[in-house]
Amino acid sequence: MTEAYIFDALRTPWGQTALYEVKPVDLLARVLEGLQRRQPELDLKQVDDLLIGCVTPTGDQGANIAKAALLQAGWPPTTSGMTLNRYEASSLEAISLGAAKIRAGWAELIVAGGIESMSRVPLGSAGGALGFDPGVLHRVDYVPTGISADLLATCTGFTREELDAFALHTYHRAVHAGEQGYFHPSLQPIYDQNGLLILDRDEWRWPAMTADLLQAQSPAFAELGALGFDQMALHHFPAVEQVKHLHTPATMASSADGAALLLLGSQQKGKALGLTPRARIRTATTLSLDPAILLRGAHQAAAVALSMAGMEPTDIDLWECHESYAAIPLHCQRMLQIPADRLNVNGGAIALGAPLGAAGAFLLSTLIDELERRDLNTGLATIAAKGGMGVAMIIERQ
């Protein structure tokens, strides 16, 4: 069978405020232009498709931003574009879909990734039946992800201290990685139309996080829970006395603006165009569980991806688990017995924030850069997504 390879991975810096002035279509177009610069030998006419994850595809990000960005970047009209939404796992899904097309032989060269300008198009502004339609809310007893994360932490018996400690690690690792330039290989600075720099490094929500500052934070979801969502969670878990609100704004992913892309293709196409494979996609999987326990999707998907590859958790050199809430990577770590020094080694969304539609592409670009830097081989990226879903992917360095 044809294998799917990753030839390149790049992203904008993650912006907290600096990228607010850049319209989403430009964010994506600039990364496309960046790809051209990094791969000067790449014949754009050979790119079959641009698959873009976007969680709030409305307004500036509405309809099909992938095609709009291709045209805005001046790519030839021969590349198709598509936007897809699998919540937090959108870009990981886009990459998985791209890989599947290549493995099936229905495409040879694909760019896949994600975009989210959460400052321009706030989460929730696209509405949607899951979350806003009273009938659906009641039918499925749907609770927001934050409540679900607190429920997971409650059921698993995590303490506030454990979540804070995990987050502190993430902050320290991310700061260290940033200072050492570990993210540098993938970063694509953003300039304005005059060539003036807007942002060339990730912006920090908490540049100097401390244990005290973490401890000082108030629970993020106590009020939401008191509105009634706690009771709804207990409909699913009646043996729990009450949902403990353990996550704070500092132990969950913050909003961010940014876009990220991977260049995928078959070995043959790569050879023909003179592209060097950086990694091979071994397996990818998508699954779905009870929405109230949505956050278990990450470790479940990882387990399935491993078994598809005939691998054990110990076969994975580096893990990236999306940090939407601290309980998720912690839970993943516990369930799969991942050594702490192999999981999210350069921090994650708790420290850096996450442009939701690009969260998966970030995990992969970080994974590839770090595998290369440490000269290791195998990496696994996994994401729990709203609605009970989980997406995981295993890559192998070439």
Q: Are strands 279-288 and 4-11 parallel, antiparallel or unpaired?
A: antiparallel
Q: Nearer Cβ to other proteins, position 227 or 340?
A: 227
Residue list 205-264, contact with other proteins (CB under 8 A):
227-232, 234-235, 238-242
Smallest separation, CB 224 to other proteins (Å): 8
Could you say whether residue 132 binds other proteins (CB under 8 A)? yes
Could you say whether residue 133 binds other proteins (CB under 8 A)? yes
Q: Nearer Cβ to other proteins, position 138 or 172?
A: 138
Q: Nearer Cβ to other proteins, position 105 or 122?
A: 122
Q: Are strands 109-117 and 4-11 parallel, antiparallel or unpaired?
A: unpaired
Could you say whether residue 60 binds other proteins (CB under 8 A)? no
Q: Nearer Cβ to other proteins, position 147 or 383?
A: 147
Q: Nearer Cβ to other proteins, position 40 or 134?
A: 134
3-state secondary structure of 20: helix
What DSSP designation does 45 have? G
Looking at 82, 137, 165, 198, which residue binds other proteins (CB under 8 A)? Answer: 137
Looking at 40, 77, 135, 157, which residue binds other proteins (CB under 8 A)? Answer: 135
Alpha carbon 136 to chain centroid, angstroms: 27
Q: Which residues, listed in sequence order, are joined to residue 252 by a DSSP beta bridge?
A: 325
Q: Nearer Cβ to other proteins, position 127 or 207?
A: 127
Separation between Cα atoms, residue 109 and residue 306, nearest integer Å: 26
**In 3D, which of 347, 348, 389, 396 has the Cα closest to residue 371?**
396
Tell me phi and psi for residue 381, to 5 degrees: -115, 135
Could you say whether residue 183 binds other proteins (CB under 8 A)? no
HEC letters along 163-223: HHHHHHHHHHHHHHHHHHCCCHHHECCEECCCCCEEECCCCCCCCCCCHHHHHCCCCCCHH
Smallest separation, CB 237 to other proteins (Å): 8
Selected range binding other proteins among 35-43, 87-95, 108-116, 126-134, rule: CB under 8 A: 126-134
Smallest separation, CB 151 to other proteins (Å): 13
Looking at 17, 36, 78, 125, which residue binds other proteins (CB under 8 A)? Answer: 125
Q: Nearer Cβ to other proteins, position 140 or 289?
A: 140
Smallest separation, CB 17 to other proteins (Å): 22
Quickly list DSSP for 82-143.
EEE-BTBTHHHHHHHHHHHHHHHTS-SEEEEEEEEETTTS-TTTT--HHHH-HHHHHHHT--
**Chain contacts with other proteins (rule: CB under 8 A):** 124-125, 127, 131-135, 137-138, 141, 227-232, 234-235, 238-242
